[in-house]
Amino acid sequence: MTESHAARVAAKPAEQYALRLGDDALVLSHRLTEWLTRAPDLEEEVALANIALDLVGQARFLLTSAGQSSGRDEDDLTYRRTDREYRNALIAELPNSDFAHTVVRLLFFSTYQWVLYTALQHSAEPDLAAFAGKAVHEVAFHRQYAAGWVVRLGDGTEESHDRTSAAVAELWPYTAELFAVDELIEGLTAEGIAPDPVILQARWSEQVEAVLSEAGLGVAPTEAWRPTGGRAGLHTEALGYLLAEMQSVHRAFPGATW
């Protein structure tokens, strides 16, 4: 996407930031809904569906905020952008694997949202601060749910432990992108709109590593590989397939209402 096209999606720095956060929530919500009819039992299916609904609610507010200057509403930003126009972190778009993979990803992401929204309550952007004050309670539950399952699986059978450990090893490198610093983040941090990612990452690491320790999963991986690109619109092929499914009805019947 060209710079001029990017400006039409979210013109102001705070709107570009809202676009990133909204895309994170939207894409992961879709991944969670893919567990419907496939979850280990009915209770977990309902829990994952409710978490997905919370994330959709967050995405609606954030995408509406992101489109204020450009005149693009939440539906337009959701259904009429290509994968190169999405700004979600890569960890949100990765295809589902087993249940251990899902709860580990949810632990990593919901803990990120929890430390982020806790800090955003003090943002110099009033609407963003008010949003964070409400959303932080939702993500606290998401984190509690995920942490409970990570401990249960990590401290369970040999197979559940191995699968959870494999999920941690696979997903950990992708978490670095959540705290990456670029020109946008530097500017928003200086203005007091966004919190310092370095401080957030330290708080996140403390919380996540405590859960991993309780689960008997050892210390976090230390590999140097840190995939990035999502914030710049460079995604895995998985996002293209996800959007093809999510946008299919809208593209087949443009302008339809019901």
If one compares 225 and 63, the residue with the highest pLDDT of the two is 63
pLDDT surpassing 90 at residue 167: yes
With CA atoms as reference, report the closest residue to 49 among 37, 66, 67, 65: 37
How far apart CA 182 and CA 133 sit, in angstroms, is 25
**Who contacts 94 (Cβ-Cβ below 8 Å, separation ≥6)?**
31, 105, 171, 174, 236, 238
First and final C-alpha spacing in the chain = 32
Average pLDDT across the chain, whole number:
93
Confidence band of 2 (pLDDT split at 50, 70, 90): very low
Rg over alpha carbons for the chain, rounded to the nearest Å, is 18
Q: What pLDDT does 4 receive? A: 44
Confidence band of 221 (pLDDT split at 50, 70, 90): confident
- HSE-CB at 95 with a 13 A cutoff on CA atoms is 7
Any idea where the domains of the chain sit in the sequence? Answer: 3-252
The arithmetic mean of pLDDT across residues 205-210, rounded, is 96
With CA atoms as reference, report the closest residue to 135 among 59, 209, 36, 81: 59
Q: What pLDDT does 10 receive? A: 64
User: What are the pLDDT digits (tens) for 108-165?
Assistant: 999 999 999 999 999 999 999 999 999 999 999 999 999 999 999 999 999 999 999 9
pLDDT surpassing 90 at residue 58: yes
Q: Give the SS3 label for residue 90.
A: helix
The arithmetic mean of pLDDT across residues 209-214, rounded, is 96
If one compares 219 and 258, the residue with the highest pLDDT of the two is 219
Q: What pLDDT does 162 receive? A: 96
How far apart CA 119 and CA 97 sit, in angstroms, is 32
> In three state form, how does the secondary structure of 145-184 look?
HHHHHHHHHHCCCHHHHHHHHHHHHHHHHHHHHHHCCCHH
Question: Based on the number of CB atoms within 10 Å of its own CB, is 142 exposed (0-12), middle (13-18) or buried (19 or more)?
Answer: buried
Q: DSSP code of 118?
A: H
Q: What is 3-252's CATH topology?
A: Ferritin (1.20.1260)
Backbone angles phi, psi at 235, to 5 degrees: -120, 170
pLDDT surpassing 50 at residue 83: yes
Q: What pLDDT does 48 receive? A: 97
% of the chain exceeding 90 in pLDDT: 86
Statement: the pTM of the whole predicted model exceeds 0.85:
yes
